[in-house]
Structure formats: C-alpha cells, structure tokens
Amino acid sequence: MGARGGPTAPFWFAQSPLRAEGGGAVSEPMPVREGPRGAGWVMGLDEAGRGSLVGPLVVGGFLVPESRLLDLAGLGAKDSKLLSASERVMVYRRLASVGRAVSVSLSPRTIDRYVADGRLNRLEAEAMASLIHEAGPSCAYVDACDPVAERFGTLVSRLSRCPTVVIARHRADRDLPVVGAASIVAKVRRDRALERLRATLGPELGSGYPSDERTVKFVRGTLAAAGPLPPWLRRSWETTARLMRERSARALESFA
C-alpha cells in the first residue's frame, strides 16, 4: 500500500479523464459530524452501468465510521441488484444517517478511449483510486472486476497513492454491507443519469442495456439519421458496431 506523498495528487489524477468531460468526483450532502479522512473510517466501492450501451459508468463509494459498520445491514445495505428501484432509493436515503456517498461518473467518450486499448478495468481502478485518494479512509473494500481479485486490489492501492489498506473481493457487493451500500450509491446515481437522458430523448431509450430491445431499437433509429454519433452512445460496444454495419449496408443499398 503506497504511502501518501503529501497533498499533491498523483500524476494521472491531475490530468485524468475523471476530471474532464463533466465526469469528476461527485459528493452529495450526506451529513456526518466530522470529515472522513483519517483512521477509523471504512469505504466500500462498486460500479453500475459497466455493460450499458448508453450513458455513463458510475463508480460509487460509501464512507462510514468503523463504529457504524454493523448498522449498515439493518439499514438495508446489500447488493443493489437484489433491490427494486424504489427500495434502492429508500435505502440510499437511510444511509445518510451513518455515512457519506461519493461517486465518479465516466462518460461514454472516456469509456470508449479506454476500451480501445483494452483498459476498461484500468479505468474502473483509476476511478476507485481517485475516490480513495480524496477521502483517505483507513480501509477500503472493493468489488473486483478483474478475474484475479488480489491483482485488482493491488492496482487500486498503487494508483490511490494512499496508506489506505485496499481489499478487493469478488461478489463483495453481496458479502459485505459496506460494498453493498456503495453498489446502491452507484446504481441510484446511474439511474438518475439515465432518467435525465430519457427526459431529453424520450422514454423509448429504455434501460440503456443491449439486452433491452427498446434500447436497441432506439439506437438503431438514431443511427438511421445522418450525422455524427451522439455523445450518450458508447461507440466501442459490439452492439453499436453491429448497428453501424447495418446503417452502412442500408446506405450502400440506397446508393445502388
């Protein structure tokens, strides 16, 4: 676990895409009696929207005093996938009584740039490291996206440049309430981002995932129109590539 190198942020953090394109770390008011930095604070980290075709990938974190860890399960903190949308919002609000939510929103353009180099896991690690760097908890539990959990935890720890102990585990969102709380933060904020997109583009956008026929139909219709690809669409996804090939085929048939 790298020692903190003073107040200067890591070299990648100052120029990171997490600070650009409307991304950046986001902290909503969740009142606590003292700041999280220092001993005795624990952080959970997870993501939402990794497989989505549209919209941001949101990495969420939840900070809680070690003395309140056992309260999380009683508040309903668990893997967000085990909760309905209304249940997630209800638990999200309850969490305000014991800790603070933070998150990083990663734009489709940023995601595409990392996917092009096969570095999506690296992007997620950078986002988690940025949240750890800013909060400085004594310990952070991470839901690992890498098949080798320990390798992912080592990467997050190195990038954070903090003395924080980072523990990465598979299925941490199911096994550890503090990571379950982080998964709820990530999912609620990702859902809000999609709600804003639907308010602009229409409800036909659907959930944003390639498994949703409404989303695929909406993207296909959007691509049928001439012009550049919209900024809310992830270009690097195979579904987008397939729909682009369909558009090119139709254009060639029309020309012929």
> CA 161, CA 150: separation in Å to the nearest integer?
17
- What range does the domain containing 106 cover? 11-198
Q: What is the pLDDT of residue 228?
A: 85
If one counts the domains in the chain, the total is 2
Within-domain flag for 240: yes
Q: Which residues are bridge partners to 141 per DSSP?
A: 44, 167
The 10 Å Cβ neighbour count of residue 178 is: 27
| CA nearest to 179, candidates 158, 153, 159 | 153
Look at residue 227 in the predicted model and tell me its pLDDT: 75
Task: Report how far Cα 151 is from the mean position of its chain's Cα atoms.
Answer: 19
Distance linking the first and last C-alpha atoms of the chain = 62
To 10 degrees, the CA torsion angle through 70, 71, 73, 74? 140
Under 8 Å between Cβ of 153 and 43: no
| Euclidean distance between CA atoms 75 and 214, whole angstroms | 34
- Among candidate residues 167, 183, 198, the one where a domain is terminated: 198
Q: Which letter, b or e, does each residue of 71-94 get, where b requires 16 or more Cβ atoms within 10 Å of its Cβ?
A: bbeebbbbbbeebeeeebbebbeb
Q: Given this model, what pLDDT does residue 39 score?
A: 64
Residue 246 has a pLDDT of: 75
Structural domain contains residue 243: yes
**What CATH number does the domain containing 227 carry?**
1.10.10.460
Per the DSSP assignment, residues forming a β-bridge with 42 are 64, 139
pLDDT of residue 107: 97
Classified as helix, coil or strand, 202 is: coil
Please tell me whether residues 249 and 140 are part of one structural domain.
no
> What angle (nearest 5°) sits at the alpha carbon of residue 64, between those of residues 164 and 28?
105
Whether residue 1 lies inside any domain: the answer is: no
55 and 181 together in one domain? yes
188 plus 247 within the same structural domain: no
Q: What is the pLDDT of residue 38?
A: 56
Q: Are residues 154 and 247 in the same domain?
A: no
Burial of 5 (0-12, 13-18, 19+ CB in 10 A): exposed
From 198, 226, 241, the end of a domain falls on 198
Contact status, residue 141 vs residue 164, Cβ threshold 8 Å: no
- Whether 63 and 141 map to the same domain: the answer is yes
pLDDT at 150: 96
* 3-state SS assignment for residue 41: strand
For residue 128, give every residue at least 6 positions away whose Cβ sits within 8 Å of its Cβ, in sequence order, or none.
Answer: 45, 59, 61, 140, 142, 156, 160
CB distance 10 to 159 below 8 Å: yes
Full-model pTM: 0.83
Does residue 5 fall inside a structural domain? no
Grouped pLDDT means (10 residues each) for the chain, 256 residues:
32 35 38 49 97 96 96 97 97 96 96 96 97 95 97 97 95 97 98 96 95 94 84 93 74 49
